[in-house]
Structure 1
Amino acid sequence: MDMLIKSSLPVLVCASFLLASSAMAQGVGPSVGDREFSLSGTGSSNKDFDNSSFGISGDYGWYLTGNTLAGIRQSVNFADIEGEGVSDDFWNGSTRGFADYHFGRGAARPFVGASLGAIYGDGVKDTGIAGLETGLKYYLLSTTFIQGRAEYQFLFDSGDSAEQNYDDGAWAYTLGMGVNF
């Protein structure tokens, strides 16, 4: 009997943890009409740390349904570029509207979406920007989450250039934290 209890203990602990996690996940996330604010960061550097860039992005949105978020995103980026005879700092920013669809109702919520807006600043031509995105939000508390997002962005001046520039896009990655209220 004692051996049965000892061998069952890990199973009981795992089952209790899963039940508690499942119960906690039921009460997480937004509802229709809730707002959301998130702050994310990104950065990169070459191996010698003489060419570096970093950025910050803030999102503010509204849940149109329990799964659909629409909002506005502001990003600011800084790059320190050095090379032969070149040493310069560049600032740029982008402002874009976005819409994301979230899957599931548990603590982990993958999402897909799109954005459309403008990019401006040093070292970039002021122009339109559009992109597709995907990511994952993980709720640590009922209204607080961490998130990772990857965006494929392309620049355009007109409808014709959007079609041509889609193949010349760039990936942008962010990692951040947010809250629903």
Structure 2
Amino acid sequence: MNTIKKFSIALCVSASLAPAYIQAQGMSSHEFGPKAGDREFTLSGAGTSSKDFDNGTFGVSGDVGWFLSDQTVAGVRQSINYASVDNGDDVWNGSTRGYVDYHFGRHQARPFVGASLGGIYGDGVKDTGIAGLELGLKYYVLPSTFILARAEYQFLFDSGDSAEDNIDDGAWAYVLGMGFNY
């Protein structure tokens, strides 16, 4: 069984056992999640490979955020992606973005919406600005630990005029990861 499958199974088992653990500890849903002033760290990843493992990509994204209120977090996100190409040049790229997200509700499952703005750089991309809107879900498996799923609609720009022109030519980026509040 490959590593990604093992990790996915472990993640699902952990998530399914968490409610029983929480109930046994006598915790209620209002004890989950951050308060104003708390910080947050998340680590997410993604990857693909051809069936012969001779072409593949891998990406990792880390976020550090600060809660301005119980429901609003602002922070910095760093993403790095690497592609190994058989009979070609391997490439990497990265992006650094500031973000603001607003969370709905105060229970274990917390949907959120937000926006990000920053830059993208590396091989195979033109160093340029990147902006986007995002939506996602954090599910708290423990009072300060959560599973994260996020989708971002991103578009590139060089100026205000190109941002307006390029907004319709964006792309979706998806991440799955884990995080905690401290």
* Superposition TM-score tier, normalisation by shorter sequence: 0.7 to 0.9
Q: What whole-Å deviation, never above 9, does each CA across 1:131-153 have from its counterpart, x for those lacking one?
A: 01000000011101110000010
Instruction: Describe the SS at the equivalent of 1:124.
Output: coil
**What is aligned with 2:81?**
77
Whichever residue aligns with residue 97 of structure 2, its letter is R
**What is aligned with 1:134?**
135
Distance 2:102 2:63 in 1: 15
CA distance 1:45–1:119, change in 2 (3 Å) = same
Instruction: Describe the SS at the equivalent of 2:85.
Output: strand
* Aligned: 1:29 with 2:30: no
**What is aligned with 1:151?**
152
**What is aligned with 1:170?**
171
Instruction: Describe the SS at the equivalent of 1:140.
Output: strand
* Aligned: 1:95 with 2:96: yes
- Where does the alignment leave 5 or more consecutive residues of structure 1 unmatched? 1-16
CA distance 1:35–1:169, change in 2 (3 Å) = same
TM-score, reference length from structure 2: 0.82
Q: What whole-Å deviation, never above 9, does each CA across 1:98-140 have from its counterpart, x for those lacking one?
A: 0000001000000000000000001100000000100000001
Whichever residue aligns with residue 154 of structure 2, its letter is Q
If you compute each CA radius of gyration, which structure gives the higher value, 1 or 2?
1
**What is aligned with 1:111?**
112
Distance 2:54 2:157 in 1: 30
Q: What whole-Å deviation, never above 9, does each CA across 1:58-91 have from its counterpart, x for those lacking one?
A: 0000000100000000000001234xxx512111
Q: What count of residue pairs does the alignment treat as equivalent?
A: 160
Alpha carbon RMSD of aligned pairs, Å? 1.7
Deviation at 1:45, TM superposition (A): 3.5
**What is aligned with 2:16?**
none
Distance 2:170 2:50 in 1: 21
Structure 2 counterpart of 1:43, from 33, 40, 47: 47
Distance 1:47 1:168 in 2: 30
Deviation at 1:174, TM superposition (A): 0.4
Whichever residue aligns with residue 76 of structure 1, its letter is I
Instruction: Describe the SS at the equivalent of 1:160.
Output: helix
Distance 1:112 1:99 in 2: 9
Distance 2:166 2:51 in 1: 30
* Aligned: 1:53 with 2:54: no
Whichever residue aligns with residue 119 of structure 1, its letter is I
**What is aligned with 1:4?**
none
TM-score, reference length from structure 1: 0.83
Distance 2:136 2:179 in 1: 13
Distance 2:138 2:127 in 1: 31
**What is aligned with 1:8?**
none
